[in-house]
Amino acid sequence: MGFRFFLFLFLATLPAFLAQEFEDAIIKVDGATTVAETDANFICATLDWWPHDKCNYNHCPWGYSSVINMDLSHPLFAKAIEAFKHLRIRIGGSLQDQVLYDIGSLRSPCHPFRKMNDGLFGFSKGCLRMSRWDELNRLFSQTGVILTFGLNALYGRYQIRKGAWAGVWDSSNTQNFIKYTISKGYQIDSWEFGNELSGSGVGASVNAEQYGKDLINLKAIINKLYNNSNVKPLLVAPGGFYEQDWYAKLLQVSGSSTVNVVTHHIYNLGAGVDPNLVSKILNPHYLSRVEETFKSLDKTLQTWGPWASAWVGESGGAYNSGGHLVSNTFVNSFWYLDQLGMASKYHTKVYCRQTLIGGNYGLLNTTTLVPNPDYYSALLWHRLMGKGVLAVDSTASPFLRSYAHCSKGKAGITLLLINLSNQTTFQINVENSMNLNLFVKKTTMYRGSAFMRGLKKSASWIGSKADEQLFREEYHLTPKDGYLRSQTMVLNGMPLELTDDGNIPSLNPVRLNLNAPIFINPLSIAFIAFPNFDAPACA
């Protein structure tokens, strides 16, 4: 398959290929030590509360995809989750702090969400019935989900002015809900407190000092209710946009070991209606701006909360339901995979994508549940990129983004290469900072007969069993028909589509001779696994 793949790839694009620019690049990976470590289940996806009549920009992209109303029996939904073996899911979102749990005594009736002009985000309070909670947990148990549940942190508070809420959190409804959850034996990995109430908030905000005191209360409740349990769920907070002073104050007030995980949200591409979304995604300088947020949060935790780890609790790229025909197409994977690589370098343990299903940024199509391109990007990361994050130096232009991890479940390392350039093909030489040069001879591509010799060499296979270890595995991702907004991703020349019996397709690499040059075509992405890379840090 290796030779056929490259023959197809190069000959199909031969006219454009001959007109491209070529740039040699050296990528040096330090296999001696890790610079950070992610959780084994780094990939996370969210389920939201939005009802079908949630609309943005005269477009209503949510359908029946919410925690309350989605069809849990759809066979593709379970298959999409099971493909990860253990997918981490976070239930939460804008309406989270208006959800009432239909158990015990309530301050107000437990009705479905309905549109309300003066309601938070234009909706009334909503209801999670325990029969629905039972259905959700049956699915989660069957599919091996690792669950984070976002709790209502506004219950019992009152509004003092537009956007600002005060008062002590009323824990009664949450306590009854957690008691019910424990009584049914449902496994909760972590409870998250509130959604986007930090700093100036989104729709509503709570003072950091009061928030910290409420977290102490919630921690005591969790400890008490799970007193007889072998494993206590983690406490996660605040699930909002990072503001340094507010986050630092929260950690100071709540104190040592109260909060296990500090979450923040990222929508660094701006509004979903922005006509410049694609140009932002393909601009390496724009993508790098958010790096300061990761750096600052990491420093804040080292200073004020070294007991806590950092998660991206929600990130959809573009806010207000994502970008129509952008967030659910191939081009979004440039942003998404770059985010995963960047976040992991700054000690981010988990990265939750908004959403698994719903809005324009779902990993699955809202109506059909057929995977969008980012689903396959997430699945490949989950299967290939291990916990250990390695330092990478590159001589390439900023348009080639490169990240390296220990390979997952096997020896060696895996490189993620993202080519944002629309005209430059990068020929890459990978080196080990321990002075191991992986490639014996560097090959340069020329036109004419030399070009064809290079093509043949790049697609060579290891033919003898004795040389089995001298190979690498490559996963090249491109859009169908070269259209960046295609909703079909192509892997090594083959469109990724459901099998005839409705299953997730296999994601197979091409195996290439280790000495063959590495080429990354314009506007493409590649995972490259090196099983024989000498990396003591990954042992």
Q: What is the DSSP string of 89-113?
A: EEE--GGGGGEEEESS--SS-----
Report the pLDDT value the prediction gives residue 435, as an integer from 0 to 100. Answer: 62
Q: Is pLDDT larger for residue 477 or for residue 453? A: 477
Average pLDDT estimate for 17-24: 77
Q: How far apart are the first and last CA of the chain?
A: 31
Q: How many CB atoms lie within 10 A of CB 429?
A: 18
Angular region, 202: left φ>0, alpha ψ -120 to 50, beta rest: beta
Report residue 120: phi and psi, to 5°. Answer: -65, 125
- Mean pLDDT of the chain, nearest integer: 91
DSSP 258-308: T-SEEEEEE-TTEETT-TTHHHHHT-HHHHHTTHHHHHHHHHHHHHH-TT-
Report the pLDDT value the prediction gives residue 470, as an integer from 0 to 100. Answer: 87
- Does residue 98 lie in a domain region? yes
**Distance between CA 453 and CA 9 in Å, rounded?**
15
Q: Is pLDDT larger for residue 126 or for residue 468? A: 126
Q: How far is CA 348 from CA 37, 264, 454, in A?
A: 8, 10, 40
**Distance between CA 492 and CA 197 in Å, rounded?**
44
27 Cβ neighbours under 8 A, 6+ residues apart: 392, 393, 394, 395, 396, 402, 415, 417, 428, 429, 430, 431
Residue 468 known to be catalytic: no
Is 121's pLDDT higher than 50? yes
Report the pLDDT value the prediction gives residue 20, as an integer from 0 to 100. Answer: 73
Q: Is the peptide bond before 275 cis (omega within 30 degrees of 0)?
A: no
Range from 116-125, 218-227, 456-465 carrying the lowest mean pLDDT: 456-465
Shared domain for 155 and 294, answered yes or no, is yes
Q: Which helix (H) or strand (E) holds 234?
A: strand 234-240
- Does residue 527 lie in a domain region? yes
In the DSSP assignment, the letter for residue 346 is T
Supply 246's token pair: 């507010």
- Does residue 365 lie in a domain region? yes
Residue 314 known to be catalytic: yes
Which residue is catalytic, options 314, 431, 473, 497? 314
Shared domain for 225 and 368, answered yes or no, is yes
Paired with 40 in beta bridges are none
Shared domain for 182 and 69, answered yes or no, is yes
The model's confidence at residue 428, banded by pLDDT at 50, 70 and 90, is very high
Is 131's pLDDT higher than 90? yes
Is 13's pLDDT higher than 60? no
Q: Domain range for residue 484?
A: 21-35+394-440+459-538
Is 396's pLDDT higher than 60? yes
Report the pLDDT value the prediction gives residue 459, as an integer from 0 to 100. Answer: 34
Average pLDDT estimate for 404-419: 97
Shared domain for 180 and 54, answered yes or no, is yes
Supply 480's token pair: 């169908």
**Distance between CA 347 and CA 36 in Å, rounded?**
5
- Does residue 9 lie in a domain region? no
Last residue of a domain, one of 387, 411, 432: 387
Q: What is the CATH number of the domain that holds 506?
A: 2.60.40.1180
Shared domain for 372 and 405, answered yes or no, is no
Supply 94's token pair: 């804008």
Shared domain for 370 and 403, answered yes or no, is no
Shared domain for 300 and 379, answered yes or no, is yes
- DSSP-based three-state secondary structure for 58: coil
Pairing of strands 385-394, 400-407: antiparallel
Task: Determine the residue type at 294.
Answer: F
Is residue 90 a contact partner of residue 148, using CB atoms and an 8 Å limit? yes
Shared domain for 341 and 408, answered yes or no, is no
Q: What is the CATH number of the domain that holds 48?
A: 3.20.20.80
Q: How many CB atoms lie within 10 A of CB 457?
A: 16
**Distance between CA 31 and CA 412 in Å, rounded?**
9
pLDDT digits (tens, 9 = 90+) for 230-285: 889 999 999 999 999 999 999 999 999 999 999 999 999 999 999 999 999 999 99
Shared domain for 303 and 399, answered yes or no, is no
Q: Would you say the pTM of this structure is higher than 0.75?
A: yes
Place of tokens 């999409």: 80
Report the pLDDT value the prediction gives residue 515, as an integer from 0 to 100. Answer: 87
Shared domain for 410 and 280, answered yes or no, is no
pLDDT digits (tens, 9 = 90+) for 324-333: 999 999 999 9
Q: How many CB atoms lie within 10 A of CB 364?
A: 24
Q: How many domains does the chain have?
A: 2
446 Cβ neighbours under 8 A, 6+ residues apart: 454
pLDDT digits (tens, 9 = 90+) for 76-106: 999 999 999 999 999 999 999 999 999 998 8
- Does residue 7 lie in a domain region? no
**Distance between CA 404 and CA 342 in Å, rounded?**
11
Angular region, 15: left φ>0, alpha ψ -120 to 50, beta rest: alpha
The model's confidence at residue 453, banded by pLDDT at 50, 70 and 90, is very low
- Does residue 81 lie in a domain region? yes
Shared domain for 115 and 93, answered yes or no, is yes
- Does residue 4 lie in a domain region? no
Supply 374's token pair: 């980012």
pLDDT digits (tens, 9 = 90+) for 340-370: 999 999 999 999 999 999 999 999 999 999 9
- Does residue 8 lie in a domain region? no
Last residue of a domain, one of 387, 404, 425: 387
- At how many degrees (to 10) do helices 449-458 and 2-12 cross? 140
**Distance between CA 21 and CA 10 in Å, rounded?**
15
Is 506's pLDDT higher than 50? yes
CA 205 to centroid of chain Cα atoms: 26
Last residue of a domain, one of 357, 387, 417: 387
Average pLDDT estimate for 391-401: 97
Shared domain for 183 and 315, answered yes or no, is yes
Report the pLDDT value the prediction gives residue 457, as an integer from 0 to 100. Answer: 38
Paired with 37 in beta bridges are 388
Q: Which helix (H) or strand (E) holds 341?
A: helix 332-345
Average pLDDT estimate for 291-314: 98
Average pLDDT estimate for 162-185: 97
As a whole number of angstroms, the longest Cα–Cα distance in the chain is 80
Which residue is catalytic, options 21, 37, 196, 209? 196
**Distance between CA 82 and CA 478 in Å, rounded?**
25
**Distance between CA 375 and CA 488 in Å, rounded?**
11
Report the pLDDT value the prediction gives residue 437, as an integer from 0 to 100. Answer: 47
Question: Percent of the chain beyond pLDDT 70?
Answer: 90
